[in-house]
């Protein structure tokens, strides 16, 4: 299988949560910088080939830790709402990605600029997820008794995240549009590398008078990436995660990896329940949304195997 090539194509690359914080690590700032540099190696290669790359990224571990800090200091400092914490992590993580990328490009003699855009994403103020939280954030907890105590003490809603343990869930409203889309598109056309929609972007809704107002929640970064790609006319969307391929019956004896499928097939498998909400489900939903609204191709694979996946040797390609 070979992937189609677009001359100087725009590609939105959505980095998964393990791009910056790995599950087995403490997640200190030195580890985050090291992981960021590793995750950008393949992206720098794409840039050197002449592609116009727009980078998005998750923030689950980071915003979860920020919420823990808020809880720990509630007696001493005013609490910070979730929407503002998303903005904080979008800026801090964007700084790590931007600086790491600038240094890597400089060492390769590539004279391109990179910039982080704090991105507001429009959602519906009455989105159902506000009353039924589904978005996982923060660390994993495996002790059920500890989970019960945390729920009681902090008032959190916690759910099981596949077989990895329990995590906090928060509202995840569906993204409708990117507020800064015109600016991002103009900068991309100038050849500037954009880092946007960090953590899915800052959720905002439109008031009756047309102004914006923030809302507490975390937008799924893959769905936001699909909206961004459509808004700026990018034909390709790469979703980088912790697995090399999408699979049916994942984690069972009848697991079946998929190398290639159409958007219609992806929707069929999704409706059959093959892709759970807290794992592959949002990625497949994002792919379907992107392809059914004008996108050309989605590639889902692991961060470490992107070079092979771009050559058609690995990964899952979803097409119109």
177 and 36 belong to one structural domain: yes
Q: Which of 18, 51, 59, 279 is catalytic?
A: 18
Do the beta carbons of residue 62 and residue 95 sit within 8 Å? no
Residue 6 pLDDT greater than 70, yes or no: no
243 and 192 belong to one structural domain: no
According to DSSP, the residues that pair with 238 across neighbouring strands are 13, 299
Euclidean distance between CA atoms 320 and 318, whole angstroms: 7
* Residue 223 is among the residues annotated as catalytic for this protein: no
Q: How far apart are the first and last CA of the chain?
A: 16
- Please check whether residue 305 lies inside any domain of the structure: yes
277 and 208 belong to one structural domain: no
- Please check whether residue 218 lies inside any domain of the structure: yes
Q: How many domains does the chain have?
A: 2
121 and 211 belong to one structural domain: yes
Residue 298 pLDDT greater than 50, yes or no: yes
* Residue 17 is among the residues annotated as catalytic for this protein: yes
By percentage, how much of the chain surpasses pLDDT 70?
97
* Domain span holding position 313: 235-320
pLDDT-wise least confident of 17-26, 89-98, 143-152, 181-190:
17-26
- Among the listed residues 297, 296, 314, the one whose alpha carbon sits nearest the alpha carbon of residue 305: 314
116 and 244 belong to one structural domain: no
* Residue 279 is among the residues annotated as catalytic for this protein: no
Q: Which of 9, 10, 135, 223 is catalytic?
A: 135
Q: Which of 35, 59, 283, 295 is catalytic?
A: 283
77 and 203 belong to one structural domain: yes
Q: Final residue of a domain: which of 208, 232, 256? A: 232
209 and 88 belong to one structural domain: yes
According to DSSP, the residues that pair with 301 across neighbouring strands are 240
* Residue 83 is among the residues annotated as catalytic for this protein: no
60 and 190 belong to one structural domain: yes
270 and 301 belong to one structural domain: yes
Do the beta carbons of residue 138 and residue 168 sit within 8 Å? yes
51 and 184 belong to one structural domain: yes
308 and 199 belong to one structural domain: no
This prediction's pTM: 0.90
* Residue 60 is among the residues annotated as catalytic for this protein: no
């Amino acid at each position: 299988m070979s992937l189609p090539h677009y001359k100087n194509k725009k590609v939105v690359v959505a980095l998964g949560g393990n791009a910056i914080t790995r599950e087995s690590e403490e997640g200190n700032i030195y580890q985050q910088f090291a992981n960021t540099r590793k995750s950008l190696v393949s992206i720098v290669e794409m840039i050197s080939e002449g592609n116009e790359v727009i980078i998005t990224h998750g923030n689950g571990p980071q915003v979860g830790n920020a919420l823990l800090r808020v809880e720990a200091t509630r007696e001493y400092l005013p609490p910070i709402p979730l929407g503002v914490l998303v903005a904080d992590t979008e800026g801090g993580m964007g700084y790590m990605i931007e600086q790491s990328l600038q240094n890597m490009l400089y060492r390769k003699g590539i004279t391109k600029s990179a910039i982080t855009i704090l991105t507001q994403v429009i959602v519906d103020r009455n989105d159902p997820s506000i009353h039924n939280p589904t978005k996982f954030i923060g660390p994993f907890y495996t002790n059920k008794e500890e989970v019960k105590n945390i729920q009681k003490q902090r008032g959190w809603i916690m759910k099981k995240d596949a077989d990895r343990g329990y995590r906090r869930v928060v509202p995840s409203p569906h993204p409708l549009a990117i507020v800064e889309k015109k600016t991002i598109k103009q900068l991309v056309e100038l050849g500037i590398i954009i880092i946007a929609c960090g953590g899915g972007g800052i959720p905002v809704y439109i008031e009756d008078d047309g102004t914006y107002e923030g809302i507490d929640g975390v937008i799924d970064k893959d769905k936001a990436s699909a909206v961004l790609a459509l808004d700026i006319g990018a034909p390709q969307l790469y979703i980088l995660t912790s697995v090399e391929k999408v699979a049916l019956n994942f984690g069972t004896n009848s697991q079946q990896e998929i190398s290639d499928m159409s958007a219609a097939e992806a929707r069929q498998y999704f409706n059959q329940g093959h892709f759970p909400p807290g794992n592959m489900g949002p990625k497949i939903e994002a792919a379907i949304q992107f392809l059914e609204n004008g996108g050309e191709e989605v590639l889902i694979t692991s961060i470490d195997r992107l070079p092979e996946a771009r050559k058609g040797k690995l990964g899952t390609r979803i097409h119109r």
